[in-house]
Amino acid sequence: MLYIVGLGLGDEKDITVKGLEAVKSCERIYLEHYTSILTVPTDRLEALYGKKILLADREMVESDLNAILKDADSINVAFLVVGDPYGATTHTDLVLRAKELNIAVTSIHNASIMNAIGCCGLQLYNYGQTISIVFFLDNWRPDSFYDKIKQNRAIKLHTLCLLDIKVKEQSIENMARGRKIYEPPRYMTVNQAVEQLLEVEEKRQEKGVYSPTTIGVGMSRIGAPDQRIVCGTLQELLEADFGEPLHSLVLAGEMHFLEADILKTFAINVDTFNQYAQVSDH
């Protein structure tokens, strides 16, 4: 059996009771650690499970599924994913490959950023499509998210922005020379994301998409005791401190007044919130 187990968002105790029982029954345990991270080091997980964890990097998951699935028709193998098992395409690859090999798969769900953002007060059913913001490079500044935000905001919906994570990346030079030397991990901050959003807005300037006075919500370490939820105009969020990773950002669309009531409790400045929030009373 292959167990694909969501770990949730915070620390080792965010695994479910069912997930923990499954992991304890496994002979090999992989942790996918390149699309998201927990707020605690891996040894805290190992202590709770009483088992050794193997780290699965992108290279392994994208090129060597057979190694992960080896003997999983006769023994139990766990593949641990921060958040819910189905947040990233690569894990559907794993499920498909297991099905081809006639290996039974059990998924154990958990919270992910896609639903945990409900804690800021903006209702999940009022979100449009989710966008990703990647680190801009000198000569690569992809802005296709702008069109998606435009579509969402045209129909008044909120937009969750997932922020880039670079783990075990090679520099172009090291890659060219075939040297397996990796850069230190980088996690995009809310501030960097807002800066890039505003740069693209400066360039595109299409009507009614967003602007420095659009209300956003920056969030960090959701599910951890030191989580932060800070609401403000994009201009205000540029300077706000969100602490350690991971960070996420939401662009607010039109809010129901009950959504605004909650969100306001996280405002940097209630006056600017009241001035710029788009609130409906129905």
Among 1, 101, 167, 262, binds a second copy (CB under 8 A): 262
CA angle 223, 228, 229 (to 5 degrees): 105
For the CB of residue 208, give the shortest distance to a second copy in the complex, in Å. Answer: 15
Is 87 assigned to a binding site? yes
For the CB of residue 81, give the shortest distance to a second copy in the complex, in Å. Answer: 11
226 binds a second copy (CB under 8 A): no
- Please give the C-alpha separations between residue 154 and each of 45, 64, 196, 209, 233, in angstroms, as whole numbers: 44, 42, 21, 8, 19
- A 10 A CB-CB count for 129 gives 12
CB nearer to a second copy: give 112 or 196.
112
Q: Which stretch binds a second copy (CB under 8 A): 28-36, 72-80, 94-102, 239-247?
A: 94-102
Q: Which stretch binds a second copy (CB under 8 A): 2-10, 60-68, 192-200, 266-274?
A: 2-10
Is 9 assigned to a binding site? yes
Among 209, 212, 216, 200, CA closest to 154: 209
Q: 134: exposed, middle or buried (C-beta count within 10 Å: 0-12, 13-18, 19+)?
A: middle
CB nearer to a second copy: give 165 or 222.
222
Q: How far apart are CA 182 and CA 167, in angstroms?
A: 8
CB nearer to a second copy: give 67 or 124.
124
6 binds a second copy (CB under 8 A): yes
Cα separation of the two ends of the chain: 49
185 binds a second copy (CB under 8 A): no
Block residue for tokens 């007060």: 121
Among 37, 56, 116, 197, binds a second copy (CB under 8 A): 116
CB nearer to a second copy: give 49 or 238.
49
Among 46, 58, 86, 103, binds a second copy (CB under 8 A): 86
Q: Say if residues 113 and 255 touch (Cβ distance below 8 Å).
A: no
One character per residue 45-84, x = contact with a second copy (rule: CB under 8 A): ---x----------------------------------xx
Among 60, 223, 235, 272, binds a second copy (CB under 8 A): 223
Is 132 assigned to a binding site? no
Kindly provide the b/e burial profile for residues 108-121, where b requires at least 16 CB atoms within 10 angstroms of the residue's own CB: bbbbbbbebbeebb
96 binds a second copy (CB under 8 A): yes
Contact partners, residue 63, CB within 8 Å, separation at least 6 = none
Among 46, 101, 118, 182, binds a second copy (CB under 8 A): 118
Q: How far apart are CA 192 and CA 232, in angstroms?
A: 15
Peptide bond preceding 7 in cis form (omega within 30 of 0): no
Q: 17: exposed, middle or buried (C-beta count within 10 Å: 0-12, 13-18, 19+)?
A: exposed
The footprint of a second copy (CB under 8 A) covers: 6, 8-18, 20-21, 48, 83-87, 89, 92-93, 95-96, 99, 107-112, 114-116, 118-119, 121, 123-132, 151, 155, 157, 162, 222-223, 258, 261-262, 265
Binding residues, by number, are 9, 84, 87, 112-113, 163, 247
